[in-house]
Amino acid sequence: MLVALAACGGAPGSPGPSGGDEGRIQVVTTSSVFADMARNVGGDRVAVTSLVPKGLDIHTYQVTPADLRAVATADLFVMNGLGLDDWLEKTIRSAGNRAPILKLAVDLPGVVLLPGDTPDTQNPHLWMDVSNGIAYATRIATALEAADPTAAADIAASADAYAKRLSDLDAWVRDRIATIPEADRRFVLFHDALPYFARAYGLTIVGVAVEAPGQDPSAGEIAALIDRIKATGVKAIFSEAQFPTALVDQIARETGARVVANLYDDTLGDDPVTSYEALIRWDVDQLVGALR
């Protein structure tokens, strides 16, 4: 869903925060993952800034003065929506920019949303299903072409090439997951970041350690999760690299499950997890290595 707050004041390509980007569409994203998508779709026709640096938690990110400067010069904003990064809209209002906002996960055609961590919310992590990642890329391409119609042909060519790579990636994920015995395709997560991934690729999430980042579970909730792990024979508990491991380490000691605390979803990382494609490959390799 492309939401235009109002007509943007200047032409695309106003000088961005990094300088030297005249003539390019200035794109500001919330996540380094979406920034990578925008660069792959836009190619040389875009200059992209991710507000949340790699390795930081997008859920609880605090905007800096430098972020406000980047926001003030953007031609297009790219965010996820569904509660993951809704703080961006307040930041845009503070900066006084009237450029369009692209909410990648909102009203994505053909997607049945899964429940979020509180009543009447939806889980926002759609892109972990690579078919949804392809849909994200298509939406980015449409928004970039609208921002600068003179770049449409170049953007369309880049977007088509990127979609082909992601389609091949989706097939690779399915082949890798198929190597896990069906009885072992179940796991526990630090928080519920992979439900669309699990649904798409035939895995079962037995439980989560925390309902949402920053919310500590009760002793009763921890005990119930430990009982589920023992009853279902879960082999591994997975956590993202940006989160502390004390809680999952405690659960592992009680259950004998293995802790794998180096997954990525909301953020890119250091080499080799430097792109959306690399993130998916990395996570799949960690999952298969622990469950197979």
Please state the length of the chain. 292
Question: Could you tell me if 143 and 207 lie in one domain?
Answer: no
Q: How many domains does the chain have?
A: 2
Question: Could you tell me if 131 and 28 lie in one domain?
Answer: yes
Percent of the chain with pLDDT over 70: 92
pLDDT tens per residue, range 58-101? 988 999 999 999 999 999 999 999 999 999 999 999 999 999 99
Buried b (16+ CB within 10 A) or exposed e, 191-228: bbbbbbbbebbebebbbbbbeebeeebeeeebeebbee
Q: Answer with the one of 172, 194, 213 that is the final residue of a domain.
A: 172
pLDDT tens per residue, range 226-261? 999 999 999 999 999 988 899 999 999 999 999 999
Question: Could you tell me if 212 and 250 lie in one domain?
Answer: yes
Helices (H), the chain: 32-42, 65-72, 87-95, 130-147, 152-177, 195-201, 219-232, 246-255, 276-291
Position 82 scores a pLDDT of 97
Structural domain of residue 25, as residue ranges?
Answer: 2-172
Q: Answer with the one of 113, 144, 172 that is the final residue of a domain.
A: 172
Question: Could you tell me if 240 and 104 lie in one domain?
Answer: no
Question: Could you tell me if 213 and 257 lie in one domain?
Answer: yes
CATH number at residue 133: 3.40.50.1980
Question: Could you tell me if 48 and 125 lie in one domain?
Answer: yes
- Under the banding of pLDDT at 50, 70 and 90, the label for residue 117 is confident
The lowest-confidence range among 102-116, 153-167, 206-220 is 206-220
Q: Answer with the one of 172, 203, 219 that is the final residue of a domain.
A: 172
- Position of tokens 């989560």? 208
